[in-house]
């Protein structure tokens, strides 16, 4: 399985059972957007996830040079997709897992 497909499937798996926690996710997401301090904290968390994704997918790339940006770019694209999907979900509602799938599908990783 390719690195990008693994990321998409991992986020699909995270969507299982989302309905049971959607109110908590909405409350936390709203709170983290309520002040510059919380927003900065959230961005730091996103950066950690980007790095974690990059570390996990790096072995999936052929001929990876030490300075190859592809793993980090994949992590950044994934987390940007999550951020945009979450923002849209907070504004428009609907299904967050569906919004995440749609956001990932519009990137080169979907």
**pLDDT tens, residue by residue, 14-47:** 888 898 999 999 999 999 999 999 999 999 999 9
Is residue 79 domain-resident?
Answer: yes
Is residue 34 domain-resident?
Answer: yes
DSSP H helices, the chain, are: 3-15, 22-32, 36-57, 70-92, 96-105
Q: Which residues contact residue 65 at a Cβ distance below 8 angstroms, ignoring those fewer than 6 apart?
A: none
Is residue 110 domain-resident?
Answer: no
The total number of structural domains in the chain stands at 1
**Quick count: other Cβ atoms within 10 Å of Cβ 30?**
11
Instruction: Kindly tell me if the per-residue pLDDT of 62 is higher than 70.
Output: yes
Question: On the CB side of 64, how many CA atoms lie within 13 Å of its CA?
Answer: 14
Instruction: Kindly tell me if the per-residue pLDDT of 3 is higher than 90.
Output: no
Stronger pLDDT, 109 or 3, i.e. the higher one: 3
The domain spanning residue 60 has which CATH number? 1.10.357.10
Q: Which domain holds residue 80?
A: 3-105
């Amino acid at each position: 399985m390719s690195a990008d497909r693994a990321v998409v499937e991992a986020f699909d798996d995270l969507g299982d059972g989302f309905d049971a926690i959607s109110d908590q996710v909405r409350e936390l997401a709203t709170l983290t957007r309520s002040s510059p301090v919380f927003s900065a904290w959230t961005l730091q968390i996103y950066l950690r996830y980007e790095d974690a994704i990059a570390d996990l997918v790096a072995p999936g790339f052929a001929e990876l040079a030490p300075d190859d940006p592809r793993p980090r770019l994949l992590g950044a694209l994934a987390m940007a997709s999550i951020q945009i999907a979450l923002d849209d979900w907070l504004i428009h509602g609907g299904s967050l897992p569906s919004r995440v799938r749609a956001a990932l599908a519009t990137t080169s990783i979907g």
